[in-house]
Amino acid sequence: MFKKIFFVTALLLASLLSAKPVVIASIAPVGYLAKAVGGDKIEVQSLAKGDVHSYEPKPNDMKAVAKASLFIAAGLEFEEAWIPRFKASAKNLVVVQSDAKIAK
């Protein structure tokens, strides 16, 4: 019995340690670039896939952000309102502004 419990615990720990970091991109093109850089070592999800001007996160989006370790922002209007909420739901979330130091 002890061997079974030890084996199951070891499998669970191994799966937790080998989980890929989740990276959230605000828009699909940024997600594509993140996937190109991170390859199969990361899991990438993009939030706004349609009209970014009227985007509001769905519950599944919020769940994904809560699991994420990195959020890549593109400098869009909706991010100003939502990034503080994303940070509140994921305390260790690191936000990278991909548009930093780019003249608009």
CA atoms within 13 A on the CB side of 81: 8
Q: Classify 25 as helix, strand or coil.
A: strand
Question: Do residues 19 and 65 lie in contact, with contact meaning Cβ atoms separated by under 8 Å?
Answer: no
Average pLDDT rounded to a whole number, residues 49-68: 89
Average pLDDT rounded to a whole number, residues 4-8: 52
Question: CA 103 to CA 41: how far, in whole Å?
Answer: 32
CB atoms within 10 A of CB 25: 25
Fold of 20-97: Rossmann fold (3.40.50)
Q: Please give the pLDDT value at position 58.
A: 92
Q: Please give the pLDDT value at position 53.
A: 84
> Given a cut of 70, is residue 64 above it in pLDDT?
yes
